[in-house]
């Protein structure tokens, strides 16, 4: 069985994240979407809220399981879940360089786990949670960038 881990902070999950998760679900028997912590970020939503948004958005994919591991290292979670691969989403060339560094670090720590880069659809190539939160803060329309439950929660929290 092929098992993959799609880690992220997902604050909130975007259509780009959903795009990558769907691609990964088609490639692997089991996909864990794992809500984790990026210490460089300040979060709008709790871990449990982020998990709920993802579960709602991906509920039609039986081989996807959403879990939370906010205080763990990605490679350790991958080992615990017997994952063969870590999925990373790439929107553009800036993401690619950042993801290349993360992949090298993960490979050094866990050579047995592959990193798989999946590119978003072009319409998601500029969509970032931080930009969406900024647009929402100033009353802009974010509906086309987020799953409905997440969009509603962002509007509520930032209105």
Catalytic site residue from 9, 17, 50, 69: 17
17 as an active site residue: the answer is yes
Q: Which of 9, 30, 91, 110 is catalytic?
A: 91
Whether residue 93 lies in the annotated active site = no
What does the alpha-carbon distance between residue 114 and residue 109 come to, in Å, rounded to a whole number?
11
Q: Is 155 a catalytic residue?
A: no
28-62 burial code (b ≥16 CB/10 A, e <16):
bebbbbbbbbeeeeebbbebebbbbbbeebbeebe
- Whether 91 sits among the annotated catalytic residues: the reply is yes
Active-site residue set? 17, 41, 91, 129
């Amino acid at each position: 069985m092929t098992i993959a881990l799609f880690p992220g902070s997902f604050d909130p999950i975007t259509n780009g994240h959903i795009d990558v998760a769907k691609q990964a679900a088609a490639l692997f028997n089991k996909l864990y979407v794992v809500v984790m912590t990026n210490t460089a970020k300040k979060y709008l939503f709790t871990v449990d809220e982020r998990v709920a948004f993802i579960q709602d958005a991906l509920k039609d994919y039986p081989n996807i399981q959403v879990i939370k591991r906010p205080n763990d290292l990605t490679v350790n979670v991958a080992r615990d879940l017997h994952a063969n691969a870590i999925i990373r989403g790439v929107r553009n060339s800036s993401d690619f360089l950042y993801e290349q560094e993360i992949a090298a670090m993960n490979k050094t720590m866990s050579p047995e786990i592959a990193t798989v880069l999946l590119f978003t659809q072009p319409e998601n190539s500029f969509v970032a949670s931080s930009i969406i939160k900024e647009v929402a803060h100033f009353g802009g329309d974010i509906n086309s960038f987020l799953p409905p439950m997440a969009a509603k929660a962002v509007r509520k929290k930032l209105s």
